[in-house]
Amino acid sequence: MKYEAGKKKKFAGPVLLAIIVVAGVAASVIWKNDTTRFLQSLNQGVLTTEQTASTQAKRADPTLAPPSISWVTSPQGAAQNRIAMAFKVGASAPLRSVKISITPVVKMPGIEVGKEVMDVPTYFIGRKSLDWDGQIDLTRSLLAGGPVVLQIIAQDNDKREGLSDTVSITLPEHNFNHPVAKAIYGLRKTLKDEPHAKRLETLRSLAMILQQRDNFENQELTLLTLRSAAVRIALDRSTDGLRSALDLLWHAAILFEDAHPVGLAKS
């Protein structure tokens, strides 16, 4: 009997220990699950708060006015065929962008250009006001050489947009000095004015220019730009393709002119 009692006591010890361990593990699992659910609820609450704040931040305040723009001096021609102008911008929120729109006064021949928009070179990060007084080069515009209307467009971080009054001016053209740069720019103008009738003629002229390899010594980028323009003219007859080709011709003329600042062709 004593042996059996001792055996039962020895057996009861491990059983009791096992029960305690199991209970501990169960409690740990329950605590972990409860803790996880608690942390998830807290995280969900934080996410909900952040989402709400983000939504409120994106929603523009309807009581705030869009940027206001006023001309200080009317745009006028300046040195190197630039446009000199001065204007002021005031906004309720930090400015996001300042651009200038160029609209033709009369319908131009060739490719249809309703309006062009270009960036105004300036820095305004975190600013609600801007006093701009300087010169801007707009000669790469397809409307260069003709009468246009200029207008400043300012947008703030809430995407409210303000417009200046319109002003009229004849947009100057870029004066190229090097004969090859002049020829490339002339092809660009011809193709712009008569995109369908002058397409093959432009391709032949480009082929003749590209054959003058001595003029393109150490100018791989200019060569690549001209070849890309020729491919685009030959294969893409869409309006977007034509615009891209005209843009490539402009950059090729500028690259060539910059590489020959004296303006003398090689003999």
CATH number, domain of 117, equals: 2.60.40
Positive or negative: CA dihedral 97, 147, 178, 188 = positive
User: 80: number of CA atoms within 13 Å, CB side?
Assistant: 4
The answer to whether residue 266 sits within a structural domain is no
Whether 144 maps to a domain, the answer reads yes
Q: Is residue 211 domain-shared with residue 238, that is, in the same domain?
A: yes
Question: 94 Cβ partners below 8 Å, 6+ apart?
Answer: 124, 125, 126, 127, 128, 156, 157
136 and 221 housed in the same domain: no
Q: What is the percent of the chain with per-residue pLDDT over 70, rounded to a whole number?
A: 75
pLDDT tens-place string over residues 245-267: 999 999 999 999 998 875 444 43
Determine the pLDDT at residue 41: 56
Provide the residue range defining the domain that includes 33: 1-59
Indicate if 156 and 207 belong to the same structural domain. Answer: no
Domain boundary among 135, 170, 205: 170
Among 170, 205, 229, the domain-final residue is 170
Element containing residue 12 per DSSP (H, E): helix 2-58
Q: Which of 78-87, 123-132, 233-242, 257-266 is predicted least confidently? A: 257-266
Question: 3-class DSSP state for residue 26?
Answer: helix
Pair of tokens at residue 57? 């931040």
* Single residue among 114, 139, 170 that ends a domain in this structure: 170
- The whole-number pLDDT of residue 171 equals 95
pLDDT of residue 36: 52
Question: β-strand 83-90 against 167-170: which pairing, if any?
Answer: unpaired
pLDDT in tens, 40-71: 554 555 445 455 445 444 565 667 889 999 99
In whole angstroms, what is the distance from residue 157 CA to residue 92 CA? 10
Q: Backbone dihedral region of 245: left (phi > 0), alpha (psi from -120 to 50 degrees) or beta? A: alpha
Q: Mean pLDDT across the chain, nearest whole number?
A: 82
**Claim to verify: residue 78 and residue 163 sit in the same structural domain:** yes
Is the domain of 99 the same as that of 147? yes
pLDDT at 19 over 80: no
Look at the chain and report how many structural domains it folds into. 3
Is 11 domain-assigned?
A: yes
